[in-house]
Structure 1
Amino acid sequence: MNYPLRRLFSMLAVALLAVAGLTGCLATPDSAGGDPNAVRIGTLRGQPHLYAPYFMQRFAPQNTSYEIVLFENSPDIKNALASGAIDLGVLGAPAMLAGIAAEQDVRILASAADGGSGFVGRPEIRTPQDLRGKKIGFPAGSSQEIALKLTLRANGLDPDTDVQLVNLAYSDMASAYSAGRVDAFLSAEMGVSIARQAGAHQIVSAYDTPIGATNIVFGGNGRFLDEQGDRARDAVMAFTRAIDAMKGDRAAWASGLVDTFGTDRAVTDIAIENITLRWRLDDEYRGRVAELARQMVAFDQLPTAPDMTEAYRPEFLETVGAGR
């Protein structure tokens, strides 16, 4: 085994041990956690572009607690939001769009992060044309799936016939690459930077498609928003301040990830450089989200596009903006 692969396996082992240790002290979908009056916020394990909930408590009003609930994928966060098991969530835009299209009681409150994706592969794969006949990993139902298929088509490759697409969980991408089960993958951090540290390289940008770098949003349960509007407003305020704090102190952001999830610091520093944190819902951003919804229909992720006039609850963010 060469050194890059030994390093990759070592980093994966550390990450798995860290996550295993966290399950005893952080709330999970199967444990209610401590404070029954806490605002419950869902996010994903170990992904740097969904780390904002860990900064929110420092901006919480007095006597307000934010409880972090960890999930393995964005559809599970969306389902927990729809059921009311959690109040708020940081998750992939496609999952929220799917919930809105299905008329579930979930709405987008703010943007959260662009980027955090990468299209990487073996050193001998120098151009998209070299992918013909190769196995490519992707997470089904994600913005990365849309970006992958649009990128392949833009380079004259049919996603259905010219390559072999392999659906993998985010946490499995780097290990599948190291084991030779895929030759390349288009997925999210941290897997992208772990693979790059082990010798993979960027084949082509993941962002040169009509959806751009659109990726992560901050969403809420409709009943919570209606019945606890003041707490929802305070949480949106805390979220926007958390995003701004992370943007202003990237070292603290990276250190938080290392401390919370046991990630490798060198890999973490690379990963966060691939992420653009944000919270505004400007017209340009809404246009990209609408394009993402159209592409989800085109690629059979959705039967019909959601009503984008019903997708957002902007009044909470507007209150935040007016007060800053």
Structure 2
Amino acid sequence: MKRRLRQIFSISAVLLLAIAGLTGCIATPDSVGGDSGAIRIGTLRGQPHLYAPYFMQRFAPEHTTYEIVLFENSPDIKNALASGAIDMGVLGAPAMLSGIAAEQDVQIIASAADGGSGFVGSPQIRTPEELRGKRIGFPAGSSQEIALKLTLRAHGLDPDTDVQLVNLAYSDMASAYTAGRVDAFLSAEMGVSIARQAGAHQIVSPYETPIGATNIILGGNGRFLGEHPDRARDTVQTFARAIDFMKSDRAAWAAGLVETFGLDRAVTDIAIDNVRLRWELDDEYRQRVAELARQMVDFDQLPAAPDMSKVFRTEFLESVSAQR
């Protein structure tokens, strides 16, 4: 199994180089500004649960251009939002909660995707209890970190003393597992599906905690939202239409990921089956985000929870809901 994973990871490494080459045709944080009138939307490279911006232009209002800006992680997207370098961004909810708690000028204006995570490891680890003493990879400051620690606690393991937690970047999870530097990891796609395709198995669902599958949101720069409410409303409506399209045509979603980022189709199909697309900001969802904020405080990701009355701006979704 490990040999097979090494082979797949080697192929993935080549594909990542191809992705880097593709970014010459896509705006990056250092090359924003090709169209001064474009609405700039940040997202992450190669992650299926953050792909909606790539379908937005087909649903754009007349004379509206969306410029995709690629980043390496959600905190970078949040910082770009706060500075006004981008207008909106698809990113992890914890990064936005951290920004709002620090009184940065950002707000959550729609949900984007639940799920997209997995807790996988060696087939020899059959139950969560068998993780005792094992090395577990995780991305610090993420919803996956919260889910991991809550899951370990639920199965009688102390995250601080009963296991060895190894902080890794999303892109390093599969290689760390292949090299034997970790025995398991709780992380996001695509690394989860690369490992599963190679024979790793899901140890336990990462979604059976108080935060559920809460993961990705659409955030906005406060100044842009205040100064351009009509453009913000149209953009959120376009985003929701892109999400609905992806839900209705999963083949187009998978094909887009393969074409844009050079991903393996078989692995991509596994990954998108692990993503629950959404755009709504209903009461249940907002309560789960509030619970995420509480857990972030409990696990020292935040010194204090943000004022939840300042976290969401729901008015931009009203036109979307009215059409349903």
TM-score > 0.5, shorter chain as reference: yes
* Conserved 8 A contact 2:5-2:195: no
- SS, match of residue 219 in structure 2: strand
Cα 1:211–1:2 shift into 2, 3 Å: closer
Partner of 2:294: helix, strand, or coil?
A: helix
Kept after mapping to 2: 8 A contact 1:117/1:192: yes
What residue in structure 2 maps to residue 60 of structure 1?
Answer: 60
Contact residue 14 and residue 263 of structure 1 kept, 8 A:
no
Say if 1:305 and 1:2 are closer, same or farther in 2 by CA, change over 3 A.
Answer: closer
Q: How does 1:225-244 map to 2 (within 5 A)?
A: 225-244=225-244
Q: Which residue of 1 aligns with 2:217?
A: 217
The offset of 1:6, in angstroms, is 4.1
Q: Would you say the 8 A contact 1:46–1:261 is kept in 2?
A: yes
Distance 2:270 2:9 in 1: 18
CA contact (8 A) 1:4 1:197 kept: no
- Aligned equivalents of 1:7, 1:252: Cα separation in 2: 27
Q: 1:97 to 1:251 in 2, by over 3 A?
A: same
| 2:73 maps to 1:83 | no
**What SS does structure 1 have at the residue aligned with 2:216?**
strand
Between 1:33-42 and 1:273-282, the stretch displaced more is 33-42
* Deviations 1:250-294, CA, capped at 9 Å, x for gaps: 000000000000000000000000010000011111111110000
**TM-score, normalised on structure 2?**
0.98
Mean CA deviation greater in 10-19 or 71-80: 10-19
Provide the identity percentage. Answer: 82
What is the rounded CA distance, in whole Å, between the counterparts of 2:209 and 2:49 in structure 1?
Answer: 20
Asked if structure 1 preserves the Cα contact closer than 8 Å seen for 2:9 and 2:174, the reply is: no
Deviation at 1:3, TM superposition (A): 4.9
Q: Which amino acid aligns with 2:318?
A: E
The residue number in structure 2 matching 1:312 is: 312
- CA displacement at 1:321 relative to structure 2: 1.7
**What one-letter code is carried by the residue in structure 2 that aligns with 1:238?**
T
Name the residue aligned to 1:134. 134
Q: For 1:190-201, what aligned pairs fall within 5 Å after superposition?
A: 190-201=190-201
Shift of 1:195: 0.6
- Alpha-carbon distance in 1 for matches of 2:60, 2:308: 30
Match of 2:24, SS state, is coil
| Equivalent pairs, count | 324
Gaps of at least 5 residues in structure 2 are none
Write the letter of the residue equivalent to 1:250. Answer: R
Q: Is the counterpart of residue 263 in structure 1 residue 273 in structure 2?
A: no
Q: Distance in 2 between matches of 1:310 and 1:211?
A: 20
Name the CA distance, whole Å, in 2 between partners of 1:272 and 1:205.
16
Instruction: Tell me if structure 1 keeps the 8 A contact 2:107–2:311.
Output: yes
Query: Offset of 1:75 from its aligned partner?
Result: 0.5
1:312 Cα deviation from its structure 2 partner: 0.7
Which residue does the alignment assign to 2:188? 188
Give the corresponding residue for 1:28. Answer: 28
Match of 1:249 in 2: 249
- Paired position in structure 2 for 1:146: 146
Q: What amino acid is aligned across from residue 187 of structure 2 in structure 1? A: S
Counterpart amino acid of residue 132 in structure 2: R
Q: CA RMSD in A?
A: 1.1
CA distance in 2: counterparts of 1:2 and 1:101, whole angstroms: 42
